[in-house]
Amino acid sequence: MIRTHAAIVLKATPYAEGGAVVSFLTEHGERLSGVARGIKKPTAKWVAAFEPMGMVRVSFFGKEHAELKRVTRCELAFSPLTLGHLASSLVMACLADLFDRVAREGVEDDRLYRLLSACGRALKAHPDNALGILAYAEHWLLHCLGLLPHPRVCGRCGNDQAPLALLTPDQGWCCTACTPVDPTEALPAGVREYLRRLRTGSAEEAPWLDPSDQAQAATTALLRALLLQELGGELRSYAVLWQTLW
């Protein structure tokens, strides 16, 4: 049986005899993977179609629950790649890596596809904001995983005015009115406002990285650490990103 999906390419891993095992995020938000053969042949028309984050139409051949399906066709519909733009390419690899870990075979979550395709289009439109778009994606992935409490009111006392002091595993965001925190460990002022910008804006409006914005820096670091911890530790694509850009 052949099934065709709109999908986003996640990762291609070399496989026997010049082939690759390629994973995809389908439009329904399910992770699917299959073997593509002969991709190293110069005539192969799909070589470029396996670039991470490429939006494709892909056809799989194989039984419904077959261990490994075969990719019979893969056509590139949209590429977020900006040639020669290093930061944007590295962030595309990070996003593909993240979604490859989060998406599951046999589990549909169409929020994942909407988020990743929105980030791809935002990257194409604003490659210079690649790091801002990465932070935006990390925030919404945590939300999809159910790990990000709403920041509007303090999870401990319900206060909706006092600045947020820290994020706790059991009570969510806690505010300075009820939670005494050493000033050197408390989150800087403005975290709630920054979170609101992430929640209410589209990927194209993802806040740009502003080195003078301490709330943005602290929130980004906090959410990134939480997400990577949830996914089992540092990802290789992230290591490459930091080594290259810093």
Q: Which is nearer to Zn ion, 73 or 156 (CB)?
A: 156
Q: What are phi and psi of 95, to 5 degrees?
A: -60, -45
156 touches Zn ion by CB under 5 A:
yes
Least spacing, CB of residue 184 vs Zn ion, in Å? 20
Q: Is 178 in the site for Zn ion (CB under 5 A)?
A: yes
Least spacing, CB of residue 155 vs Zn ion, in Å: 8
Q: How many CB atoms lie within 10 A of CB 65?
A: 8
Q: Which of 6, 44, 47, 157 binds Zn ion (CB under 5 A)?
A: 157
CA pair distance 50, 83, nearest whole angstrom: 16
Q: In this complex, which beta carbon is closest to Zn ion, that of residue 147 or of residue 177?
A: 177
Cβ at position 180, least distance to Zn ion in Å? 11
Point out which span in 87-95, 98-106, 124-132, 151-159 binds Zn ion (CB under 5 A). 151-159
The CA–CA distances, whole Å, from 137 to 19, 165, 184, 235 equal: 31, 23, 28, 15
| By CB under 5 A, residue 76 contacts Zn ion | no
Residue 86 C-alpha from the chain's centroid: 18
Binding Zn ion by CB under 5 A: which of 12, 112, 148, 154? 154
Least distance to Zn ion from the beta carbon of 153, Å?
A: 8
Q: Are 102 and 108 in contact, with CB atoms under 8 Å apart?
A: no
Residue 119 sits at the vertex; the CA angle it makes with 116 and 121, to the nearest 5 degrees, is: 110
For the chain, report the end-to-end CA distance as a whole number of angstroms.
48
Strands (E), the chain: 2-15, 19-26, 31-36, 55-61, 69-78, 164-168, 172-175
Amino acid at 171: Q
Contact pick of 175, 198, 235, 241 for Zn ion (by CB under 5 A):
175
Q: Cβ closer to Zn ion: 209 or 222?
A: 222
Q: Report the residue number whose CB is nearest to Zn ion.
A: 154
Of 8-16, 122-130, 142-150, 173-181, the segment contacting Zn ion by CB under 5 A is 173-181
Query: What's at 179, amino acid-wise?
Result: T
Closest CA to 32 of 15, 8, 16: 8
Q: Does 159 engage in binding with Zn ion (CB under 5 A)? A: yes
* Positions that interact with Zn ion (CB under 5 A): 154, 156-157, 159, 175, 177-178
